[in-house]
Structure 1
């Protein structure tokens, strides 16, 4: 089997798909308009298309067509409907799969009638469509009723990499650590988390707590100022950007993971299932992607988005009940192993490729 992946070579998700499929013995050609800074395994063929993004989404069509004619892949798989999906649609390649990731089908089509038309046209050019979640499957169907088959192909988690480690629970000065790993953008609701943590810290006077925020982004200074204004800057640590390879280690330093995204374009809660895989209980907002992967009251707690009071109540509930934290964390890991393991996700994707190649 020979697959050409069209997408951003610097995306961790693209890298994981390419490396995972390659590990299954599939010949992978990665076609990108981005200048790659990621390192790929020697057996993966990396092709740089010109010009670069954003012009490459349209103007790279000539170089893409030439490359596809030379490679002759069994399937051209474009990741992201609005950018690389446009380039894939313009290529005219017959056996085309297109995967939606979130904002490309939640936000982009709402910008104007022209944006909506472009996404609909791109989707109609595909022979198969991938969706990271069931909730996004419905959003795609709402864009256009007459579309090729839509397959749910979630971003799985490597449960050997994301796994619990031993914690120093006997330390007399052990604080309850609340944490998140996210880009510091408004849409991820880090400000709501800081406000909720401030409320929880004031209520839990008998327990030492700390908040760790891992990630970088345009809201960093505003969030630091918010922590100072709320009088909790001594309890909040901003760690900045960390390499993806260090995320499992970071997660294992937490006792509770919190993700309070604002918008439904958070179409698949990969951060939540990574935390669950490390046996962490999670507190998430009620956006569609989180509600799909978190079992409320079993693997974590779902709270109303943009509601610091609701989030604070959930944080206090888990701070005060160590047994509940352990119970939810253990249930979360079992849930991820059963439904969202990386090997299961790879097998689902390969089965879609098989159907496309065999004309089913």
Structure 2
């Protein structure tokens, strides 16, 4: 075992809840490892910020035993010179593997240069391993499955009472008999909001007792304004009750939102394993996922969710209609999901694998 305090520099693209909770969990579970977060968000902005970030990193990197890149943004290539002289872990989250290298040859080239210097690669699910090898090669590099816990603590969802759900509905003027449907979880064009909105309109022609949430609290601002305008024009025309969520929500607010929701729709183009989708499963929502998303691990472990195979007219609206018509029966099926999601995505379980990976590299 490591008997001295070892310092790890965690390069993260933004000051996310994952990075904060990750740092906290390492402190709680390992006396020998210290995590320091170094934000890379400046790399996405003006050139002067890139220079500033590089100069800062050059000053501090020598004081660390290991560098850990969480989410391999191609822009980290500007740091690559420093990685050659450090022990390096590269962790793929999802879109950094599924989107960047497939949509841009330049991104793939820059990512591959960084990976060449990595001692260890990690991915959030085993399905990503053959994808990594297919895109980048590097079959001889050690690669491990590690993942973060979910942003929200499970006990925050568990402690939500029935009266708090009722208060949530009153706050948003949701009739008791309405089915609450959530479309996606962020302002991202790849979430296929336009298709979902059109399908809700089709559904409304057959059923009026629905209330729609569209979470756009983070993501692309241009897309957010586009979807707001589309809803304003379309949903109001068909007298569909809805609310767009734009403001930051506390974990308590998110927990109430998850527990109050009935149906969560997640039909984005690509994903590794959406945290919002998993929170919805844990909270007892009936989730509709795109069958093309790599969630077979959940099914293999016995999880229940519905799927659609194509983004064709009528496919999603008919699936929602089927769920509402058989709601009590299908709601009963969701009971298995709570234990499955906890065992897969709790911090208490997942942090152990991260510490094991760190120890492997630090003991060499």
1:1-360 maps to which residues of 2 (within 5 A)? 1-25=6-30, 26-34=33-41, 53=45, 55=47, 56=49, 60-69=53-62, 71-73=63-65, 75-83=66-74, 85-91=76-82, 92-147=84-139, 148-157=141-150, 158-163=153-158, 165-167=160-162, 173-180=176-183, 182-204=185-207, 208-216=209-217, 217-227=221-231, 228-229=233-234, 231-243=237-249, 245=251, 246-261=253-268, 263-264=269-270, 266-293=271-298, 298-359=303-364
SS in 2 for 1:275: helix
Q: By how many angstroms is 1:181 displaced? A: 5.3
SS in 2 for 1:126: coil
Q: Which runs of 5+ in 1 are unaligned?
A: 36-50
* Contact in 2 for aligned 1:179/1:211 (Cα 8 Å): yes
1 or 2 for the larger relative contact order (CA 8 Å, sep ≥6)?
A: 2
Aligned to 2:3: none
What is the TM-score of this pair, normalised by structure 1? 0.82
* Contact in 2 for aligned 1:260/1:305 (Cα 8 Å): no
Q: By how many angstroms is 1:258 displaced? A: 1.4
SS in 2 for 1:288: coil
Q: Distance in 1 between matches of 2:337 and 2:313?
A: 24
* Contact in 1 for aligned 2:301/2:340 (Cα 8 Å): no
Q: By how many angstroms is 1:53 displaced? A: 4.5
Q: By how many angstroms is 1:58 displaced? A: 6.7
Q: Which has the higher helix share?
A: 2
* Contact in 2 for aligned 1:215/1:242 (Cα 8 Å): no
C-alpha distance 351-54 of structure 1, shift in aligned 2 (>3 A): farther
SS in 1 for 2:261: coil
Q: By how many angstroms is 1:177 displaced? A: 0.8
C-alpha distance 358-54 of structure 1, shift in aligned 2 (>3 A): farther
Q: By how many angstroms is 1:82 displaced? A: 2.9
Q: Which runs of 5+ in 2 are unaligned?
A: 1-5, 170-174
Q: By how many angstroms is 1:218 displaced? A: 2.4
SS in 2 for 1:78: strand
* Contact in 1 for aligned 2:184/2:267 (Cα 8 Å): no
Aligned to 1:39: none
Q: Distance in 2 between matches of 1:333 and 1:53?
A: 40
C-alpha distance 257-234 of structure 1, shift in aligned 2 (>3 A): same
Deviations 1:36-77 (A, max 9, x none): xxxxxxxxxxxxxxx8846455763343132022x233x211
Q: Distance in 2 between matches of 1:222 and 1:296?
A: 38
C-alpha distance 166-317 of structure 1, shift in aligned 2 (>3 A): farther
What is the count of residue pairs matched by the alignment? Answer: 338
Q: Distance in 2 between matches of 1:164 and 1:201?
A: 33
SS in 1 for 2:107: helix
Deviations 1:245-289 (A, max 9, x none): 23222212211111121x22x222222111112122211113434
Deviations 1:220-269 (A, max 9, x none): 343344343363353222122333523222212211111121x22x2222
Q: By how many angstroms is 1:356 displaced? A: 1.2
What is the TM-score of this pair, normalised by structure 2? 0.81
